[in-house]
Structure 1
Amino acid sequence: MPVAWMIGLPAVLAIAVALTWGARHYALRRNLMDQPGERRSHGVATPRGGGIAIVVTLLLAAAVAALAWPAARATLGVFSLGLALVAGIGWWDDHRPLPAIRRLLVHMVAATLLGALVWQASGSLVHAVLAVLFTTSLVNIWNFMDGINGIATSQAILAGLAFAMVMPLPFALAGVVLALACLGFLPFNFPRARIFMGDVGSGALGYAIAALVCLASVVTEINWLLLLVPLSAFLVDAGFTLLSRMLSGQRWMEAHTQHLYQRAIKSGASHTLVTALYFVFGLFSITVFNACSDLQPRWEAAVAGTWMIFATGLWLLLRNGLRN
């Protein structure tokens, strides 16, 4: 490993830790607190907005990468702008709640920037449109799923490592940096939450992971369906919960506690246990992903479809059990 990496990667972790510590003290001074409530899964007032540490760490890493690889400056600049837009609207919402449609419009603008990068790299307009839709969805999915201690951060760590393992250097560093930035935040949020990520962090994490998926789709030959497998825990829980709310005529954009992980908490399980179970499922997901990433595209698609069917069946079984 080059000396620069041996210095730079631990620095990413240290910066994330220091910035999270600073974000917590800022939130306490500004009384930026998440209060307990019927639609919340925590029982005590807790500072929020700690995800800004992950965002700033990623932006600093992108700036360093732009210096190291001048040819990638434009791409890194566009990604950084999109990340800043998603984080910025989340930061605003953490301080002064905004209408959902306003946040969604900003998410779509940021997703369009990422889609433009995919179009430029792949030459496929269809690929670019799919990237826009996927990115907009993942930004909101990560926000929906950030409801208990450690769950969103630990899943992001797994995703970062999963994509780092299948991409060539230097692209793999993007996944490693994301994992380290999240790891620096995690001790402040798990097992006991001393600060929450807030919308500034959860939405930005969704954007960063979407960028990793898009990057992997253009620098590897892996079927795009298989690229979804490391994210399957969140895609299945958020996707089918949203679908069930829409089919039942509920206001699906409102905050709620109907996700599988929230039902488990309401049934008496601890945050630590539920996050650990999602982490174990995530480990199985990235193992399947890594083991099958060298197959022919049609077999990768078959594996992905089979895994998603399995994940959906497990979700239905557990959800029905918690309902009863």
Structure 2
Amino acid sequence: MAMAMGWLLVAFLFTLLLVRVAIGYAHRRGMLDQPGQRRSHQLPTPRGGGIGIVLAMLVCLPGIGWSYPATWPFSVIAGLAGALILVALAGWWDDHRSLPVLPRLAMQLLAVFGFSATVLTTGLSFWWLPLLLAAGVWSINLHNFMDGIDGLLAQQVVFVASGLAWLAWTAVQPMLALAAATLAAATLGFWCYNRPPARIFMGDVGSGSLGLLIFAFSAMLWRIEHALLWPALLLSSAFVVDASLTLLTRMWHGRRWYTAHREHLYQWLVRRGGTHAGADMAYLIWNLLVAAPLTWLACSHPWLALPITMAAYLAAAVLWLSLKRRCLRRHPFKVRHVIA
């Protein structure tokens, strides 16, 4: 317990320090997100603060893996660290100067492939590789899509990582539990600077890296016990539903779905006059009142996990549609002039 608390403290304090340094660095390099039609903030704000979380995890992951050598092969930890470096480098480059879509996607695929290959060598069939590649790349980009207002992504990752840590603990996986808890602690350190009103944004270096880590820890849980996939998906239900339905809606209407926009539900909640803190609270309420209890129920009753997950996602989709329509009815002029 003392060792675990030590790693959590290291991750939290290390991130606090590095994010403070990142604020000064971003100002010196002119890495400022300016307000605009497709942005939800009102003042120029530095970006790239997610580098603090990345470096904290790169310091902690090898140490945690070394502390529990019999739990997972060190090759899996090394594969995860290598994947994290690749995704973070792509994001860091994009935060400094725009990185084209294809090179960024190639680096993401290479990162997910490297990590997934190490997991598959633990005894899984390589027929699972295409599914892992799709899930990993989607998670990276999903979390990037959902990083659009102050505090939301950091708050979500603290919740999901804490839930994954609990799931790993119930599965008697102390190394994985501590790794996920360390991610929650590091992200909490960043949230201290990113909560509304944000002093710094995460940037692609942070959002993509967090998406990779959430995917990786969920995949490791699935490797231990396939039934744990459903409670892991329940933890991320708010983000998965919002990002997926928004993307499908934009594709259905023939819009350029790959370009920046403000059409996610959390962005509409702000556009209709709400605050960033209020939108964050809406997602937190879902997580605490719906996702968390259902995660416990699915974990304690594995034979009900799949129908519980399906019901939760259906309820989230219905709620998404209801809230989105309410937001659009309040802005009929804006609806007719949405920029594709």
Amino acid of the structure 2 residue aligned with 1:229 = L
> Offset at 1:90?
0.3
Amino acid of the structure 2 residue aligned with 1:97 = S
Match of 2:105 in 1: 104
Report SS of the residue matched to 1:305. Answer: helix
Amino acid of the structure 2 residue aligned with 1:260 = L
Match of 1:197 in 2: 202
Report SS of the residue matched to 1:13. Answer: helix
Report SS of the residue matched to 2:78. Answer: helix
Match of 1:278 in 2: 283
Match of 1:293 in 2: 299
> Offset at 1:303?
0.5
Q: Distance in 2 between matches of 1:122 and 1:321?
A: 49
> Offset at 1:128?
3.0
Match of 1:230 in 2: 235
TM-score (norm 1): 0.96
Match of 1:130 in 2: 131
Amino acid of the structure 2 residue aligned with 1:196 = F
Match of 2:259 in 1: 254
Aligned 8 A contact 2:167 2:228 in 1: no
Aligned 8 A contact 2:234 2:291 in 1: yes
Q: Distance in 2 between matches of 1:107 and 1:172?
A: 25
Q: Distance in 2 between matches of 1:176 and 1:238?
A: 25
Match of 1:15 in 2: 14
Match of 2:336 in 1: none
Match of 1:142 in 2: 143
> Offset at 1:195?
0.4
Match of 1:78 in 2: 79
Q: Distance in 2 between matches of 1:218 and 1:61?
A: 22
Aligned 8 A contact 1:158 1:286 in 2: no
> Offset at 1:27?
0.8
Give the alignment partner of residue 181 of structure 1, picking from 186, 194, 201.
186
Amino acid of the structure 1 residue aligned with 2:251 = M
Which is further off, 306-315 or 6-15? Answer: 6-15
Match of 2:320 in 1: 315
Aligned 8 A contact 2:64 2:178 in 1: no
TM-score (norm 2): 0.91
Amino acid of the structure 2 residue aligned with 1:295 = H
User: Is residue 179 of structure 2 the alignment partner of residue 171 of structure 1?
Assistant: no
Amino acid of the structure 1 residue aligned with 2:326 = G
Amino acid of the structure 1 residue aligned with 2:146 = M
Aligned 8 A contact 1:108 1:136 in 2: yes
Q: Could you say if the C-alpha distance between residues 317 and 59 of structure 1 is closer, same or farther in structure 2, counting changes exceeding 3 Å?
A: same
Amino acid of the structure 1 residue aligned with 2:300 = D
Q: Distance in 2 between matches of 1:280 and 1:127?
A: 35
> Offset at 1:221?
4.6
Match of 1:264 in 2: 269
Which is further off, 20-29 or 6-15? Answer: 6-15
Match of 1:62 in 2: 61
CA RMSD of aligned residues (A): 1.4
Question: What 5-or-longer segments of structure 2 have no aligned partner?
Answer: 330-340
Aligned 8 A contact 2:64 2:175 in 1: no
